[in-house]
Amino acid sequence: MPEYQRIGHLAYKEGLGNSLVLDEIFGHPHHRYKTIHVGGTNGKGSTSHLLAAILQESGYKVGLYTSPHLIDFRERIRINDAMIDKRYVIDFVEKYREQFEPVMPSFFELTMEMAFLWFAAQEVDVAVIEVGLGGRLDSTNIISPDLSVITNIGFDHMKLLGNTLPKIATEKAGIIKPHTPVVIGEIGDTEVAKVFIEKAKSVDAPLIFAERYISNFAAERTHAGWLFQSDNYSGLHGELKGPAQDKNARTVLTAVEVLLETGYNIPKEAVYRGFNGVTGITGLMGRWQQLQSSPKIICDIAHNAHGLRYIAAQLLAENYDRLHLVFGMANDKDVNSVLALMPKNARYYFTRASVERALDEKILKEHAATYGLKGSTFASVSEAIHAAKENAGEDDLIFIGGSSFVVADALPLFI
């Protein structure tokens, strides 16, 4: 089946037709539990995992559907801290193949329905569902959630979603449902906010801007992560160390308050435990994740200008003798916007991940040279990492990123 993670936009099937047909075949399994829908340009993965962790610590049996996966396909489909059973995946294909093949679904459409069916079979209480791409026409938009969350709006997937922020916001706003509360993590510019306000008004959906809802909010980065302060949560430790996790935290805390208002039972202690232990609770990887200490090696899946600007700023703020970047990108990203942000005082190891969507490392190096970024090319991520480690001193910093696919190739070398 066409897989977006592997081949890009050619795998994208616009519209909900296939998803609705599949859902009919499998008896609308997502009707048998509560759902929460999470979209946005960046941060939706961290937000989804944080919400799942908090709900799990509150005593709920929680399904979690996210994408892409980094090492194992089953990362996409979890219940509490366990990935979907291998045998279930095999049996699902064997049992239902004759029914789903005539629909000609995409990889994402079918795996989403597999997740929904698995969640129903295991009788989850609630499932956190991350949008795959966009919102309005994304396969996941067949659900009727208790809450919709849109983290932020930035430039990404412009060929499919539009080339202006209001156009992209319009697509993302497609997950706003009638009479269903929606939390917006970052307001953005006036035109983007207007899109959300008009859409919510048109379907009578309560609209909550996190930045306004939790106005008395402070965040401080520490060596162990983040320390958050708000009216309801004092000294809240966030395990995730990424440079944008303060924004995700305010979004999640707002979502928790809205869920409480809709009848969810979420003790304060569960919020503290969820933030403090999200990686162990949910298996989240690739968010400013430290892989080695000497030299220090960090990886992050940020893959567009909206996300990498935070990474670039954080790299400049870190302490090290020299900076090394193992860097690769997908061929459908705005390469120039990203490269313009990246630190110049660093040695680059331009590489390509092991997927068809990966940009040729030699082309990437040519683009980078126009922005004063210098380095060598490597045909694989493993070769680039080996070279970086050979050249790095104990007090240097190696960063691995530019694409989730680069991180996916790197993680098995360390874990």
Give the pLDDT confidence score for residue 3 in this predicted structure. Answer: 55
The total of other beta-carbon atoms located within 10 Å of residue 378's CB is: 20
Indicate the SS3 state at residue 99. helix
Q: What is the mean pLDDT of residues 365-373?
A: 97
Residue ranges per structural domain of the chain: 4-282, 289-413
Q: What is the mean pLDDT of residues 120-143?
A: 94
Give the pLDDT confidence score for residue 4 in this predicted structure. Answer: 47
Tokens of 115: 């997740």
Q: What is the mean pLDDT of residues 321-345?
A: 94
Give which of 98, 120, 123, 125 is closest to 34, Cα–Cα: 125
Domain 4-282 class in CATH? alpha beta
Q: How far apart are CA 149 and CA 30, in angstroms?
A: 18
Indicate the SS3 state at residue 329. coil
Q: Which fold has domain 289-413?
A: Protein-Tyrosine Phosphatase; Chain A (3.90.190)
* 331 burial type by CB count under 10 A (0-12 exposed, 13-18 middle, 19+ buried): middle
pLDDT digits (tens, 9 = 90+) for 192-226: 999 999 999 999 999 999 999 998 999 999 888 99
Amino acid at 327: F
Give the pLDDT confidence score for residue 6 in this predicted structure. Answer: 52
Tokens of 70: 């980094």
Q: How far apart are CA 221 and CA 278, in angstroms?
A: 17
pLDDT digits (tens, 9 = 90+) for 28-44: 999 999 999 999 988 99
Q: How far apart are CA 281 and CA 295, in angstroms?
A: 28
402: left (phi over 0), alpha (psi -120 to 50) or beta: left
Map tokens 């559907």 to a residue.
65
Assess whether pLDDT exceeds 90 at residue 150: yes
pTM score, whole prediction: 0.93
Indicate the SS3 state at residue 182. strand
Q: Are 113 and 20 in contact (CB under 8 A)?
A: no
pLDDT digits (tens, 9 = 90+) for 236-288: 999 999 888 999 999 999 999 999 999 999 999 999 999 999 999 999 999 99
Map tokens 């005539």 to a residue.
102
Give the pLDDT confidence score for residue 1 in this predicted structure. Answer: 65
Q: How far apart are CA 14 and CA 12, in angstroms?
A: 6
Q: How confident is the model at residue 306 (pLDDT cuts 50, 70, 90)?
A: confident
pLDDT digits (tens, 9 = 90+) for 340-350: 999 999 999 99
**Partners of 82 in beta bridges:** 79
Tokens of 323: 């900076």
Map tokens 């897989």 to a residue.
3
Q: What is the mean pLDDT of residues 160-182?
A: 88
